[in-house]
Amino acid sequence: MRAVIYARVSTNGQDYERQLDELRSYAARMDYEVVKEFSEKVSGAKKVEEREALSDLLGYVGEHKVDKVLIYECSRLSRRAVDFLAVIEQLSEQGVSVVILQNGLETLQPDGNPNPIAQLVLGILAQFNSMERGLIRSRMESGYNHYRANGGVVGRKKGYRKTDQKMKEEYAEELRLLKKGYSLANVSKLTGTAINTLRKVKRIA
């Protein structure tokens, strides 16, 4: 069995090595040949086309013989329910089974047919992850509003300035798109980053 591994964390301060180690160990136990690894630091709320490693994985699977895609848990693939289910469907149509290690689920049965139990559970999990993302955003907004209402100021302290290296790390995706020739307006739409911030990012590129 030929397998590829995919790991993701949301921020530069996080590390995906634990995911990779556990997925490698699982592959070894199952006697899978790991032919490629893909990993990235990007929000799971980003669309598939905005995520370089996931897009590369889908392209690789389309061009090479792959039997399994190994992920740690379903939110690593996407926190957007529609994208998560679309990726699963795309891989299933290519005869590629997705193994979700933490949930002990696999999308295809040994005969290559869809696993109905996995389809049901993953559909529920995908919706839950999407709802959880919305709840987190709602709580943060509520917290900010309460803080401001009580005289708090949200944002950087006066006089604070990030180093160029810190900017490059924090806005790596924005830099990548700018270097590809995307306009400031288009990058802002894709990433949600303010145009004024993108101007600063572009100056250090």
Given a contact cutoff of 8 angstroms between Cβ atoms, the answer to whether 70 and 27 are in contact is yes
Query: Is residue 111 situated within a structural domain?
Result: yes
Domain final residue, candidates 101, 127, 153: 127
Tokens encoding 90: 């795309």
Same domain, yes or no: 17 and 89: yes
Q: Provide the sign of the torsion angle of the four alpha carbons 121, 135, 75, 84, taken in this order.
A: positive
Given a contact cutoff of 8 angstroms between Cβ atoms, the answer to whether 84 and 126 are in contact is yes
Q: CA 131 to CA 183: how far, in whole Å?
A: 32
Same domain, yes or no: 119 and 60: yes
Domain that holds residue 194: 164-204
> Which CATH number is 92's domain given?
3.40.50.1390
Query: Is residue 182 situated within a structural domain?
Result: yes
Q: Are strands 33-41 and 68-71 parallel, antiparallel or unpaired?
A: unpaired
Query: Is residue 174 situated within a structural domain?
Result: yes
Same domain, yes or no: 16 and 115: yes
Mean pLDDT by 10 residues, the chain (205 residues): 94 87 96 96 85 93 96 86 86 94 91 88 68 54 63 56 79 86 80 82 81
Q: What is the pLDDT of residue 141?
A: 64
How many residues can be counted in the chain?
205
Same domain, yes or no: 23 and 114: yes
Q: What total of structural domains would you count in the chain?
A: 2
Q: What is the pLDDT of residue 29?
A: 97
Same domain, yes or no: 79 and 180: no
Q: Return all residues near 198 (Cβ < 8 A) that are at least 6 apart.
A: 171, 174, 178, 184, 187, 188
